[in-house]
């Protein structure tokens, strides 16, 4: 095809052969083989030069486009191999989107603008299942268990807050300890969405000296906020939910307890996605 385009431009076998650094008979043979393969004549020949037939003119236009696309495909394929172009399927729990995740995605876009991200807000349990099935490249979830198959990196930590209805008697000023709410009904996450996270919240109450009475269980923070607003119980949530809540509730940050709300990145160690490798390098550079 490159030989054909050179001859179409020069309209002279000898000149085209010289520019291609081949002998004239070799060029003539290549063009004849191309015409035989297509079953049509691309050139009208005379002793001095050649001219494109109508079919040859059409073929030249199409071949020019084809070779340009081929060069683009070669370049983009190299980008895909290096992780500079591709797709990244990301799962996350709800609080990620109003804490660290937007900044991380902004850094990814700045460094790798041709990587397309697909974001899915999912519970921690569903993210782990999606990772195992190869439906996610990386997941951001709470307190995952250890696994030989998965890599992990802690990416975000924040305090817990006690969440109360706006009319509740307790305030940040008169609150002394979690024992102040030992007689309250609690809204806490289920074991099914992560036993370690469930145990972490229970331990906040148990460290204070009581076992929480459970009124409702839910894995969704925004559902918890509305239930608390409706007076159906009190809860424990990562403090960042205070920034995005418009419910009639109040937060009392628990600064003196050892328990922290954490987000951990989890990925399949055998995942061959080059874009994931670049993303993981970014995570390693994250303070």
Instruction: Based on the fold, state whether residues 147 and 165 are members of the same structural domain.
Output: no
Residue 98 tokens, joined: 């109003």
Total-model pTM: 0.71
Position 48 scores a pLDDT of: 72
| CA angle in degrees (0–180, nearest 5) for 150-154-158 | 145
Instruction: Based on the fold, state whether residues 112 and 252 are members of the same structural domain.
Output: no
Q: What are phi and psi of 261, to 5 degrees?
A: -80, 125
Span 76-110, pLDDT tens digits: 677 677 777 788 999 999 889 989 999 999 999 99
Output DSSP code: residue 62: H
Q: What residues of the chain score a pLDDT lower than 50? A: none
Count structural domains, the chain: 3
Position 62 scores a pLDDT of: 92
Cα separation of 74 and 213, whole Å? 63
Instruction: Based on the fold, state whether residues 202 and 169 are members of the same structural domain.
Output: yes
Instruction: Based on the fold, state whether residues 38 and 60 are members of the same structural domain.
Output: yes
Position 219 scores a pLDDT of: 86
Position 72 scores a pLDDT of: 74
Question: What is the domain-level CATH number for residue 197?
Answer: 3.40.190.10
Output DSSP code: residue 145: P
Position 69 scores a pLDDT of: 81
- Which of 201, 199, 195, 196 is closest to 221 using CA atoms? 201
Cα separation of 252 and 239, whole Å? 9
Position 91 scores a pLDDT of: 95
Instruction: Based on the fold, state whether residues 251 and 268 are members of the same structural domain.
Output: no
Cα separation of 20 and 16, whole Å? 6
Instruction: Based on the fold, state whether residues 201 and 242 are members of the same structural domain.
Output: yes
Question: Which domain covers residue 216, as residue numbers?
Answer: 160-259
């Amino acid at each position: 095809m490159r030989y054909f385009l050179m001859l179409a431009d020069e309209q002279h076998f000898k000149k085209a052969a010289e520019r291609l650094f081949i002998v004239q008979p070799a060029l003539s043979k290549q063009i004849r083989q191309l015409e035989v393969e297509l079953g049509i004549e691309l050139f009208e020949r005379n002793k001095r030069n050649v001219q494109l037939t109508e079919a040859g003119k059409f073929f030249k236009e199409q071949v020019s486009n084809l070779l340009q696309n081929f060069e683009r495909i070669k370049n983009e394929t190299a980008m895909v191999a290096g992780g500079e172009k591709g797709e990244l399927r990301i799962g996350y729990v709800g609080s990620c989107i109003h804490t660290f995740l937007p900044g991380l995605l902004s850094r990814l876009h700045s460094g790798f603008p041709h990587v397309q991200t697909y974001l899915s807000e999912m519970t921690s349990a569903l993210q782990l299942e999606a990772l195992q099935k190869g439906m996610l490249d990386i997941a951001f979830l709470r307190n995952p268990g250890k696994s030989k198959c998965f890599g992990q990196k802690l990416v975000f930590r924040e305090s817990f807050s006690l969440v109360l209805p706006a009319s509740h008697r307790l305030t940040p000023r008169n609150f002394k300890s979690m024992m102040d709410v030992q007689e309250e009904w609690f809204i806490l996450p289920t074991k099914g969405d992560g036993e370690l996270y469930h145990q972490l919240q229970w331990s906040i109450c148990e460290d204070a000296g009581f076992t929480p009475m459970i009124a409702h269980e839910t894995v969704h923070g925004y559902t918890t906020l509305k239930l608390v607003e409706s007076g159906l119980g009190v809860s424990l949530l990562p403090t960042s939910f205070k920034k995005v809540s418009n419910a009639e509730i109040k937060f009392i940050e628990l600064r003196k307890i050892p328990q922290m709300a954490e987000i951990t990145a989890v990925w399949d160690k055998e995942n061959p996605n080059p874009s994931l490798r670049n993303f993981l390098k970014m995570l390693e550079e994250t303070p």
